[in-house]
Amino acid sequence: MYKFFYILLFVSTNLFASDLGITGVIDTPSARMQDDGTLKITFSHQDIANITNITYQATPWLETTIRYAYGSLPYKDRSYAAKITLLNESEFKPNIAIGVQDIIGTGVFSSEYIVASKKIKNIDISLGLGWGRLAGKNTIKNPLLNVNDSFLNRNKKSNIGGTYGGKLRASSFFRGSKAGIFGGIKYTIPNTNFKLLAEYNTDSYQTEIISGVKPDISPLSYGIEWNGSSGNLNLTHQQGNLGFSFSTMLDTKSPPLKQKIEPFFSSSDNYFTAPETLNFNNWYHRLLYDLEQSGLYLRSAKILPNKKAIIEFSNLRFNLAADAINRVLTLSQIHLPSDINNIDLILNESGFNVLTISYFRGNSDRNFVRNNSYNKIEIHKPSGVNNPSNYTKRVVPYTHINANLAARFQLFDPDNPAKHQIFLKIDSVTSISQHWNLIGSYALDIDNNFDLNRGPGSVLEHVRTDINKYLVYGSSGLESLYLEKKSTYNEKIHYRAYAGVLESMYSGLGIEVLYQPFMSRIAVGGTINKVIKRDYSRNLKLLDYKTTTGFLSLYYASPLYNYDFALHIGKYLAKDKGATFEIRRTFDNGFSVGAFATFTNVSASDFGEGSFDKGLYFKIPFDTFMQNHNRGSYSTIIRSLQRDGGQKLDDYTGRLWFDLRGVRYDSFINNKKRMNPQ
């Protein structure tokens, strides 16, 4: 998790968030949006509360936020917000947006608004109408009462968001006898990175006053904002006291970096002496050597009588598969016999044959050939190399070991909002054959502040809420050690089978199958796992709890904004039954941001705080931040709190479809030009 925040600290844009995470002035919202695909983290401090916000511009017209408030307040609160653009700004029209500040749960920040923003030279003016907490001062009669009298009563019951939280507050949206008029101004100081801020905030802060946190306060706030290359900082005078906030942003939508120019000499240039196992007089051996130097694994090849070459390879280095294909085609131009007119590349992704790239080479010689027509590249269903004339035989078992500094975080804990462990993670992969691998991981504790002060408080089997026991008693221990097979049964069916120590809390065995027809945006999958709970010391010992989980999964790759949808229906670790809905947005550069929600037959009272399981998913590729191509990435799931209902083996349920996201047909079709050898 620390890598996630570390990366964000060094990438930002000149945009600014309000203290509540949404794009705004100081505490009040504006009608402005971030650039599409912007991921933003905001830390703010004021006398009322410290607030941490994660905001994502889900589409050009939808901004979403999850926040956590703590500090002087007599409570610690998690909340969600959303803002939608209704009208885009033009010469004579303002930007207009509508939003909700606290969509589900307790409603501590309960408010709704409609706001307009207009930029006039260096001045950006916002004026809005607010309900709920934004209707505490400078109020008028709720204009929606002219539509229906039902808007008169704003449900202020403490359990409006559910007795255990987590429920939609729809019955209070835009309701109340009054609405408040708020506004703000931003002035950009010419030729500087500074902006002056001023706002009129209609929140009367009655909740805090009743709680004894604040006396009556002025609605006027002002401050200064600084936009730097590594973050945005603002200093303010608000609620009668000083405050500050810091925002840092990451553009998840930025196009993949163009292929980095790296010094490269082919084995055909006679700069190298052939290794003992290779014969540079053989085209396959030269191609094998150069591909391995490029981070690619040549598996097999065959030349057909019709002057076609078929080459099967795996991409071990390039974040964007189109760049790997570009490199293979470029080197094939150099090494293949000159009479070969057509090249078929079979992409083997982690043991799965996923598709075939056909390239019309035309008449060429062994010199480097530039082909500017990427229409000579076609994408076909996956195939294999039958009876290859050449293949790469690796000495097995082949073991690869690496060690990295890693961390795990537990956010939003009521006692400590950022529990953490920093540890040395030692990973190993031993290839036993083409499809079988032995995979292991060991954690060596360095710094750890997890504790057992707060019990699980769950009436369900502690299938996940015991995690702190594993991180305390097994601070150093075996993360995983399992045998896995990955293969493609035919061009439509991929599967993976595994057995051993699967993760920190469970050992077991299972299988996942994915049915994905070529070019189809719809896929179907199935998973079954038989697991047993591990000993808290994270050794090879086991506890008594056993269960079998199983899921039927339906997937849809939407053409709308690169959103992918998944529905998993089945039985969970606590033996509850229900469904998990996932939505993720993934870009060609490898960034992925998503959300999920799980509903099972466990009642809200048995589930506990939050009522149902939900959270956010992030995947950040390292390639964007490094000088060389790299397939590494950091992925994490952020939950507002950890419960036992609706829990599954996340890495072993519905993973195949998302793992193969970057090599689907719809991902390749837009990158044909990038595949073309240059």
Picking from 148, 130, 150, the residue whose alpha carbon sits closest to that of residue 138 is 130
Q: What is the DSSP letter of 204?
A: -
Which pLDDT value is given to residue 641?
81
pLDDT-above-90 percentage for the chain? 53
Q: What is the pLDDT of residues 315-356, one digit of tens each?
A: 989 888 999 999 999 999 889 998 899 999 999 998 899 999
What is the pTM (predicted TM-score) of this model? 0.87
* 419 pLDDT higher than 50: yes
Ranking 68-77, 133-142, 290-299, 485-494 by mean pLDDT, the lowest is 68-77
Picking from 159, 158, 21, 18, the residue whose alpha carbon sits closest to that of residue 79 is 21
Diameter over CA atoms, the chain = 88
- Residue 428 near residue 401, CB atoms below 8 Å: yes
* 426 pLDDT higher than 90: yes
Q: What is the DSSP string of 130-198?
A: EEEGGGSSSEEE-GGGGT-GGGS-----TTTT-TTS-SB-GGGTT-SSEEEEEEEEEEEPTTSSEEEEE
Picking from 360, 359, 428, 436, the residue whose alpha carbon sits closest to that of residue 400 is 428
Domain covering 2-251, topology:
Porin (2.40.160)
Average pLDDT, the chain: 87
Instruction: Output the six-digit token pair for 396.
Output: 């097995």
What letters, b where the CB count within 10 A reaches 16 and e where it falls short, cover 366-388?
eeeeebeeeeebebeebebbeeb
* 182 pLDDT higher than 60: yes
Greatest mean pLDDT among 232-236, 440-444, 669-673 lies in 440-444
Q: What is the pLDDT of residues 16-68, one digit of tens each?
A: 667 778 899 999 999 999 999 998 889 988 877 888 888 999 999 999 998 88
* 669 pLDDT higher than 90: no
Domain covering 267-393, topology:
GMP Synthetase; Chain A, domain 3 (3.30.300)
Tally DSSP H helices, then E strands, for the chain: 9, 32
* 165 pLDDT higher than 70: no
Q: What is the DSSP string of 205-224?
A: -HHHHHTTS-----SEEEEE
- Residue 344 near residue 357, CB atoms below 8 Å: yes
- β-sheet bridge partners, residue 379: 357
Which pLDDT value is given to residue 158?
55
- Long-range contacts made by residues 543-549, C-beta under 8 angstroms, separation at least 24? 545/461, 545/463, 547/463, 547/573, 547/574, 547/575, 549/573, 549/648, 549/649, 549/653
Instruction: Output the six-digit token pair for 307.
Output: 């002057």
Distances (CA, A) of 631 to 345, 427, 573: 20, 16, 32
pLDDT-above-70 percentage for the chain? 89
Picking from 177, 195, 199, 176, the residue whose alpha carbon sits closest to that of residue 187 is 195
* 214 pLDDT higher than 80: no
Q: Supply the angle between the helices 321-335 and 283-293 in degrees, to the nearest 10.
A: 150
* 162 pLDDT higher than 80: no
Contacting residues for 242 by C-beta, under 8 A, at least 6 apart: 235, 236
Instruction: Output the six-digit token pair for 228.
Output: 């730097």
Which pLDDT value is given to residue 267?
74
**For residues 571 and 552, what is the distance between their CA atoms, to the nearest angstrom?**
10
Compute the average pLDDT of residues 4-13. Answer: 38
Residue spans of the domains in the chain: they are 2-251, 267-393, 398-666
Report residue 651 CA to chain centroid gap.
14
**For residues 573 and 602, what is the distance between their CA atoms, to the nearest angstrom?**
12
Bond preceding residue 382 cis, omega within 30 of 0: no
Q: What is the pLDDT of residues 520-544, one digit of tens each?
A: 999 999 999 999 999 999 999 999 9
Which pLDDT value is given to residue 8?
40
Picking from 501, 495, 566, the residue whose alpha carbon sits closest to that of residue 537 is 501
